[in-house]
Structure 1
Amino acid sequence: MKHIYLLFNTILVFSLFTNCGSNKGLQEGAPAQFQDVYTTTASSGLKLHIPVAVIQDNQISLDSVYFRGMKSPLVQNEELSNEYVAQFNTKDSEVVMSSDPREEYGNKAPQRAEKSPFDIERDEAILVFSQNNKTKYFKLTGITDGK
């Protein structure tokens, strides 16, 4: 009987610790109503456009996005207030190398590859958002190239 009690307690403690890590799961419901998500090519690389039809600004904050092996912060578009944009530096920019550090001032650091916490396809992205001071994840699918 003691063995069964010990085994039960061990399983209970193990399940408590493993459930704490499962909070990083994908959300089933969207944090907002999204329109068609698309990419455009910019001079420095790729831009991911996320048009939002409806969002509760006081409860949800769109933070960043994982896309094609990179992570970038989301910024609200200045021209279209209902659109969020993530910039990915995918093109090699010309780097100035000099013995004078002032001449290298304009160099931009390349964007590091950052693995998504979830497996995604080429036309998918992981949206990182905050709701009630908790970080949550949502998978965006059907992303089209160019618009």
Structure 2
Amino acid sequence: MKKLLFLFSSIFALSLISGCGSNKELQERAPAQFQDIYYTRGENGLDLHIPVAIIQDNRVNLESVYFRGMKSPLIQDEDRTNLYTANFSINGMEIMSSDPAEENKNRVPQKAVKMPFEIEDDEAILVFSQNDKTKYYKLSGIEEQN
């Protein structure tokens, strides 16, 4: 009877330990070596620019980023392969025209999303995958450039 109780308690303890691994937590080590991260304001909203100095392309995939209450996918620049950009549409109707084709160019502002972590205005949460696991890293010191 004691062996059976020990077996069940061991299984229960292992299930608790393994279940904790699925919680979202920030990584302390950066998935890449970043240069100065900045954002610009344009006609399509905010563009967050993440220049990467060194990254292990075969092990790390930069996927998306949370910034100022929104989430957007990261797109690798075709010409500058070390630059990743995320666009956050914050502007509503901008083009007023009698031509419907012109007004179709308007972008709908992004809706706010639930952030996985609390961050300041000059911070973002980078979502990346490494060894087929989704991970999170906080980017800090983000400034606006003109």
Verify same fold: TM over 0.5.
yes
Alignment of 1:53-64 (within 5 A): 53-64=53-64
Amino acid at match of 1:78: E
Kindly, what percent of the aligned residue pairs are identical? Answer: 54
Identify the residue that residue 128 of structure 1 maps to in structure 2: 127
Runs of 4+ in 1 over 4 A off after TM superposition: 8-11, 101-107
Identify the residue that residue 26 of structure 1 maps to in structure 2: 26
CA distance in structure 1 between the partners assigned to 2:133 and 2:113 by the alignment: 21
Compared with structure 1, are the counterparts of its residues 142 and 102 closer, same or farther at alpha carbon in structure 2 (3 Å cutoff)?
Answer: closer
For structure 2, the residue ranges without an aligned partner over 5 or more in a row are none
CA distance in structure 1 between the partners assigned to 2:50 and 2:112 by the alignment: 21
Identify the residue that residue 44 of structure 1 maps to in structure 2: 44
Compared with structure 1, are the counterparts of its residues 32 and 103 closer, same or farther at alpha carbon in structure 2 (3 Å cutoff)?
Answer: closer
Is the 1:65–1:128 Cα contact (8 Å) retained in structure 2?
Answer: yes
Compared with structure 1, are the counterparts of its residues 68 and 11 closer, same or farther at alpha carbon in structure 2 (3 Å cutoff)?
Answer: same
What is the CA RMSD across the aligned residues, in angstroms?
Answer: 3.0
Figure out how many residues of one structure are paired with residues of the other and give that number: 143
CA distance in structure 1 between the partners assigned to 2:11 and 2:120 by the alignment: 38
CA distance in structure 2 between the partners assigned to 1:127 and 1:136 by the alignment: 8
Q: Tell me which moved more, 105-114 or 78-87.
A: 105-114
Amino acid at match of 1:142: G
Alignment of 1:66-81 (within 5 A): 66-81=66-81
For structure 1, the residue ranges without an aligned partner over 5 or more in a row are none
TM-score, scaled relative to structure 2: 0.81
CA distance in structure 2 between the partners assigned to 1:45 and 1:88 by the alignment: 6
Compared with structure 1, are the counterparts of its residues 102 and 144 closer, same or farther at alpha carbon in structure 2 (3 Å cutoff)?
Answer: closer
Structure 1 residue 133: Cα displacement: 1.1
Alignment of 1:1-12 (within 5 A): 12=13
